[in-house]
Amino acid sequence: MGIVEHRVVDILHIRQLGLLEYVSAWKQMQVFTQNRLLNTPDEVWLVQHPPVFTLGRNGKLEHVLAPGDIPVIPIDRGGQVTYHGPGQLVAYMLLDIRRKALGVRELVTGIEQSVIDLLAHYSIVALGDRDAPGVYVDGRKIAALGLRVSKGRTYHGLSLNVAMDLEPFLRINPCGYAGLQVTQCQDLGIEQAPFELARELCECLTHRLGYAALKWL
């Protein structure tokens, strides 16, 4: 049987960047998006961040209740305030959705469904929420989603709580919702570390977003 060849634009490239300061990752995403060409492959960057609160373009400081020694960084994605920290898998989506003929709502749904598919592998029932993007298990948020779209290209993306200290979420109204509870994979019986789950998540993303294959860089 011959080897199937795919066009570069049909392959989703995956980069594992390890533990990275938030602002550094943010600036690198902006540079990548500004400099990409018509045939630049789409990429997903997998990272973890030191503790940080990020406040989206529409975010209100009143939802940051008691940040303590954790920095609060206003950024250019949509949405309100969320928390990133070690033990959380962050997947940044550097995609040309105009080239893929993907609408923003279709993209958000595809990303959410990828997490739902991942959790279903472990017999966990999860749901998305059209009015409050993200993924929920029994009403508790396990994954947050926030994107920036510039000229049909996206950056920022998805954070999945895997095995982390959830206490900082008590210092904010997560995603602008007072009293919203969060959960994580570890508390649901999933023992895999963030970057062990990353491979499964990227396979789910490849399928749900319509790529023919993925390539680990």
Q: Would you list the domain boundaries of the chain?
A: 8-211
Q: What does the pLDDT read at residue 1?
A: 39
Ligand-binding site membership of 13 (annotated): no
Ligand-binding site membership of 80 (annotated): yes
Cβ–Cβ under 8 Å, residues 211 and 217: no
Phi/psi of residue 195, nearest 5 degrees: -80, -10
Cβ–Cβ under 8 Å, residues 208 and 6: no
Mean pLDDT of 2-31: 88
Identify the CATH number of the domain defined by range 8-211: 3.30.930.10
Ligand-binding site membership of 146 (annotated): yes
pLDDT tens for 136-153 read: 999 999 999 999 999 999
DSSP line for the chain: -PPPP--GGGEEEEEEEEE--HHHHHHHHHHHHHH--TTPPPEEEEEE-SSEEEE-TT--GGGB---TTS-EEE-SSSSSEEEE-TTEEEEEEEEETTTTT--HHHHHHHHHHHHHHHHHTTT---EE-SSS-EEEETTEEEEEEEEEEETTEEEEEEEEE-S---GGGGGB-GGG-TT--B--TGGGT----HHHHHHHHHHHHHHHTT-SEEEE-
| Lowest mean pLDDT across 44-48, 159-163, 191-195 | 191-195
Please tell me which residue in 175, 185, 202, 204 is annotated as part of the active site. 175
pTM exceeds cut of 0.85: yes
Ligand-binding site membership of 144 (annotated): yes
Ligand-binding site membership of 160 (annotated): no
175 is catalytic: yes
Ligand-binding site membership of 85 (annotated): no
pLDDT tens for 27-51 read: 999 999 999 999 999 999 999 999 9
Report which residue type is found at 195: F
Q: What does the pLDDT read at residue 3?
A: 42
Ligand-binding site membership of 103 (annotated): no
Ligand-binding site membership of 114 (annotated): no
